[in-house]
Structures are given as structure tokens and as C-alpha cells.
Chains A and B, each alone.
Chain A
Amino acid sequence: MSTYAKKQGFGATLWDFMTTVDHKKIAILYLISGGLFFILGGLEAMFIRIQLAVPDNNFMSAGTFNEMITMHGTTMIFLAAMPILLGIMNAVMPLQIGARDVAFPFLNSLGFWLFFFGGVVLNLSWFMGGAPDAGWTSYASLSIHSQGHGVDFYVLGLQISGFGTLIAGINFLVTIINMRTPGMTYMRMPMFTWTTFVVSALILFAFPPLTVGLTLMLFDRMFGANFFDAAAGGNTIIWEHLFWIFGHPEVYILILPAFGIFSEILATFSRKRLFGYSSMVFATVLIGFLGFMVWAHHMFTVGLGPIANAIFAVATMAIAVPTGIKIFNWIFTMWGGSVRFTVPMLYAVSFIPSFTMGGVTGIMLAAAPADYQYHDSYFVVAHFHYVIVGGVVLGILAGITYYWPKIFGTMLNETLGKFTFWFFLIGFHLTFFIQHFLGLWGMPRRVFTYLPGQGWETSNLVSTAGAIFMAVGVIILLINIIITSVKNVRVGNDPWEDGRTLEWSIPSPPPFYNFKQLPLARGLDAYWIEKMEGKKEMTPAEPLGDIHMPNGSIIPICITIGLFVASFGALYNMDADKTWTVPVIIIGLLITFGSMLIRSIKDDHGFHIHKEDLMDDKDKEVKA
């Protein structure tokens, strides 16, 4: 292996990560940047809760509050939850199907950098004249009249990071369709791979409507088009439709990977096969399918008419059926298993009731006539935080803890992990449970303050106290990460001891080519099958041979930086006094298309790892 020895030092590591096309390193990039955005969004949430802790508060102005909630929602959904999940998918999915990388490693890196710079564009708005302030949904009736450039940052930032997500989704689809190891049929794929597959399909179909919507918004704001301006013959409702045609599948893009993570964890720590595997697959596909036919449940109060409302209400309630199938399967997986309460398992067990509560309020909201009461009240805030925090964020925390050893080769401390878990879980319910009632007592959503004497004081204070608990939990997690990284105690292949799927059959972290020989999958839970027959490793499906690997490349960053530069030209283009904008757009696009041109005319065939370098003593013995 000496020929592949790496240079040391910070600069070399940085360069390595900037040019990497290795799915495991890109996963780490996603996790780090998603984690940073998560902390940023968390800080914004804390500021929101401080402002609302007491009535008539003037911790921040109404305008700043609007920017805060907009950036909190946008950051958490697009820049924290989704990238962290894409990171876990990148780290785990290729290993689970026995692949050496994703199908298009170069695009994988491009996807990451597009997401990252899109997020940077969005957040630079804080320092460049004010953040977007029309809500994460950016309804056109509000956003086309928003002063300043906030909403332009929203449009361009999301446009760039949206391209990145779309690229990642297509990449995963092709990987799962084409790169499964011999024996890994569709119905032997681990549940997390299945959810990755369905989620990637959702990304493929859901992001184009967002792209279209954002483009129309861009034209309305930049060039004075009137797509959404009712006074000029446009229709503001079209934005709402386009946004939610994307937006509802988006919430399933977030929750399905969490479902996948929990399915793996529940099976592993119950030491049992996932109960009803094929019905789980069926339910996942069905949820993905139905997810596209329900978006108008966000628009019941728009006045679509009773027939449209009824159709969308019934379609929405239908989603509860496959979701219920999943909940029961998870419970039956634990039933009769020899359950081990590790930190990931604690998250999984508490996820089931927490998420179910969110599902129940979802059904309540889906009853269109009742929604006229709930809509735009704190009841809705409570609902989506129960599904997103109680489902997605618990899933992320569980997934990070569970896969930490596979990604970084060390084990997070269990005791500290339990502290994080309890602080977070208690804080979460403390913050959001009471908000159901605040909503029913009439507190509207997205208000920057409220008057005393309406019976909302105590509840809001309780809610803020809960938020502090959650923050403490996250801080303990950060301490845990630092301690673990400093101690750096390495672990073996299967640190949880009950790993069932292929990723646990190779070292932690895996070598950069993942599998020396592609493994033969002989059934669902392929590694478990081998273990049950007393074997220590997988049966190889191919003889030892040369492995072809792609070269790293700096071009993805160059492509992205071009778009980054151009977006600032586009942003300020409408200001009459700024004449530099058109040149900036042109320079940016030249960088982007120039880099793409270089990529397409310069051949890059990658390199081979030779068989001799792969052979260890054992292989040589066999030869001799």
C-alpha cells in the first residue's frame, strides 16, 4: 500500500477533501457542513424562543423576527436535515449494496459543493442587507413585495443547492439500480438502501417543480415579470401549488431515510430480522407514491372548493395506512427479540410514540373542515415539529451514533450519549407538546410577540425552557464528539457486535476501495447469514483482481464557484445604480462553463490498484 501513502499536514488534508470523489469522504463533508448549518439553525431557533418566552418582549424587532423564522425553517430543511441525511446515505448505502463507490463519483462531489455554496449564498444575506423574510414557504403574495434583497438570496441560494440535491438523487438511483453486488437482488437490499432508493426517486420528481417555481419567482423579481402578480394578470396561487408539489414530497424525503435508519437499528439491537420486510418495502414505495397526490392539504383554506379539498383530504388520510404498517412492523421487530438498549436503540424506541403523535395530529389536520381552525396556528407548528424533530432529528441523532464507528472508526461515549438522549427527548416534548394547546387556544403562527392576559404566558415559557434542554443535549453531543476524536480508540469491523448488513463485514473506516473482493449476498441481512454459519467474513463473489478507481478533481468546486459568483451579479442586477452586475454574471458563468469544458475535453481514466498491492499475507499463503 506504500504507493498510496498520503501527504500529511492540514493543507494536504484540506486539499484532499476539496478534490475528493470518494463517497466516504463526501459523506464526512456533508455531515460536517450539515452539522454546522444545524447549529446555525438551532441558534436561530433559540433566538425565536427567547423572543417568545414572555409577552410584549422586545428582544428583537418584528422585521428581524421574520428573518429569523424564515432562515430557521429554510436552513433546517434544506441545509441541515437533508444534507445530513444525504451524508449518511453516502456513507452507508454503497457499503450496504456491496459497491466500491457511487455510480458517478465526480457528480457526487459536484452535488455536495453545489449544496454547500448554495447554503453559503443564503446565509451571506445576513451580512449583505438582510435575510429573506417571507417564511420558508416564501408565498408569492408576500415575497414579491418584500423589500431589499432577502428573497433574492432565498431564490438563488435554493436554486444552487437544489441542483446539488437533484444531482445527488440521480446519482443514488443509478448506483442502486446498477451497482449491487452479485446476489444482492432488490428484495435483499437492506431497508435503509430501499428508503434511499425511494427518496432519490422523490428527489428526482419533486425538485423540478421547485426549480420551476424559483425560476418564475426570479423572473418576477429580477425582470419585472408578472407570473404571480394578480394585479397584472398573474396568479399568486400558482407559487403555492408549485411550492407544495415540491414541499410535501420533501417532507417524505426527510422522513423516509429516518425510517430506514430506525429499521436497521431496531433489527440490529433486537437481534432479529426486521419484521415484515416485504411489507416494509411495499409501504415505503406506497408512501413515496401517495406523497405526490396530497400537496393541496397545505392549501385547504385557500378556497380550492369542496371537491378539491375532499379529494386531497382523503388522499392525505390514506398515507396513514402504509405509515401504520411500518409502526406495527417496528413494534413486532422488537417483540420477542433480545433487546439491547444502546443509545441508537433508545432513540429508536422513543421515536415510535413521538412520531406517531405527529402522525395523529397530521390526520387531524387532514380533515379539511377542521383545518380551518388549526391552519396557521401553533397547532400546525406542533404537528410538524413532532414529525420533523420526533422523526427526522431523532433519526439523524440515532443514525450518527449508530454509524459513527463505521464512518470515523471510533465509538461515541455511551454515557454521554444517554445524557444527550434524555435531555433532547425531554426538551423536545416540553417544547412542542404544549404548542398543540397554544394553537387550540388561538395563538397564531409566525407572530413576533403577543399581549399578556390571553392565557399564553406560562405555556410559552415552558416551551422556551424545553428548547434550552434540547440545546444542552446538543452541546453534550458536541463534547462527546470532541472527547471521542481526541481519545481516538480504534474499533473493529462490527463494533455493535450484532451488525447484520454488508457494511459491518469490512473494517471501520473501510479502505478507500471498500471491498477487496465484491461479496456474495446470499439473502437478506447477508452478513448475519455468514455469521450464523460460523464464518467471520463474506464469501467473495469474484477472484482477487485489479480495482479501477476514479481520480480526485478540483473541477466540481470550480464549477460551483462560478455559479456562486454569478449569483451575486444576478442578485444586485435590478439595482439601477450598480453597473458591475452584468460583468460579474458573465465572469461567473465563464468560470462555470469553462470548468465544464475542461472536464469534457480532458480525458481522465482514473487509476488501478494492482492485485499485488491488495494481497495481504493470507492471500499469499493460499497462493504458495
Chain B
Amino acid sequence: MANQQSNSANPNLNLEYRRKQNAEEMKHQVITFSMMIFFTLIAFAMVAMETISRWFIIPVILLLAVIQVIFQLYYFMHMKHKGHETIALFIYSGLTVGLITVLVFLTIVWL
């Protein structure tokens, strides 16, 4: 969001600072991006190995998926920046409602 930037129209204002900021951001994105690719490789490798029990593989893949979603939201869609509190609130409320539903269906409808 715009909150990270200064209000000035002058592109040279705080140039040094902004450059450092962007370099930092870039570093984070490269790191998370490579980790995401690495996670994907792990997931494929586990399935390909055929020796590991599926009761281990499925939860681990789900866990890796959740971490990837978090990386995506926080590092690539800027949720870690200021000004995203309302968005986070609504994402987490929706998640809570959805998870309660899944939990109830798992416990008293399907199983």
C-alpha cells in the first residue's frame, strides 16, 4: 500500500533510503521464492520415493502448502507492511469461520 512511500512527488526524495529498502525487500523475496521452490521439490520427492508412509506424507505436504501460502501473502502480497491490518483481520475471520465448519464436518458429519 501507499503507506510505505512518502507523499512527495519528487522522485529523488529519500532516494538513498528507498533504494536500501527495495534492496532489502528484493533479498526477502528471493529467499522466500527459493524456499518455496525447495518445498515443492521436497513434496514431489517424498511422493516419488514410495517408501514413506502416506500418513506422514499427507500432513507434511499440507504443512508445506500452508507455509507457502503464508510466504505468498506476507512477502509477495505485502501483508507484512503497515496498513494491512484490516485485510489481515478479515482474512483471519474468514479462515476461522471456514475452519470451524471443516472441523464440525470432520467430527460429526463425515467421520
Contact = CB atoms under 8 A, between A and B. Distances in A.
Contacts of B104: 241, 296, 308
A235 B109 contact: yes
Interface residues of A, number: 18
Nearest to B107: A308
Interface stretch (B13-21, B48-56, B89-97): B89-97
Nearest to B94: A205
B86 A177 contact: yes
A293 interface: yes
Interface in B1-41: none
A462 interface: no
Contact of A293 (B93, B100, B109): B100
Interface string A228-249: 0000000101100100010000
A205 B97 contact: yes
A292 B97 CA distance: 7
Chain B binding surface SS class: helix
Interface of B: 86, 90, 93-94, 96-97, 100-101, 104-105, 107-109
B83 to A, nearest CB: 11
30 contacts: A173-B90, A177-B86, A201-B90, A201-B93, A204-B90, A204-B94, A205-B93, A205-B94, A205-B97, A209-B101, A235-B109, A237-B109, A238-B105, A238-B109, A241-B101, A241-B104, A241-B105, A241-B109, A245-B101, A289-B93, A292-B96, A292-B97, A292-B100, A293-B100, A296-B104, A304-B108, A305-B108, A308-B104, A308-B107, A308-B108
Chain A binding surface SS class: helix
A201 B108 CA distance: 27
A238 B102 CA distance: 12
Contacts of B108: 304-305, 308
Contacts of A308: 104, 107-108
Nearest to A240: B109
Interface in A201-256: 201, 204-205, 209, 235, 237-238, 241, 245
Interface of A: 173, 177, 201, 204-205, 209, 235, 237-238, 241, 245, 289, 292-293, 296, 304-305, 308
Nearest to A288: B93
Contacts of B109: 235, 237-238, 241
Nearest to A238: B109
A177 B83 CA distance: 12
A135 to B, nearest CB: 21
- Interface pairs A-B: 3 shortest CB-CB: A205-B97, A308-B108, A304-B108
A241 B100 CA distance: 12
A241 B101 CA distance: 9
A292 B90 CA distance: 14
A209 B102 CA distance: 12
Contacts of A209: 101
Contacts of B86: 177
Nearest to B105: A241
A289 B109 CA distance: 23
A293 B104 CA distance: 10
Nearest to A209: B101
A241 B110 CA distance: 12
Contacts of A305: 108
Contacts of A173: 90
Contacts of B94: 204-205
A237 B105 CA distance: 10
Nearest to B86: A177
A488 to B, nearest CB: 43
Contacts of A241: 101, 104-105, 109
Contacts of B101: 209, 241, 245
A292 B100 CA distance: 9
A250 to B, nearest CB: 14
Given A235-B109, A293-B100, 14 more contacts: A173-B90, A201-B90, A201-B93, A205-B97, A209-B101, A241-B101, A241-B104, A241-B109, A245-B101, A289-B93, A292-B96, A292-B97, A296-B104, A308-B107
A229 to B, nearest CB: 15
A169 to B, nearest CB: 12
A289 B96 CA distance: 10
B79 to A, nearest CB: 16
B72 to A, nearest CB: 22
Nearest to A309: B108
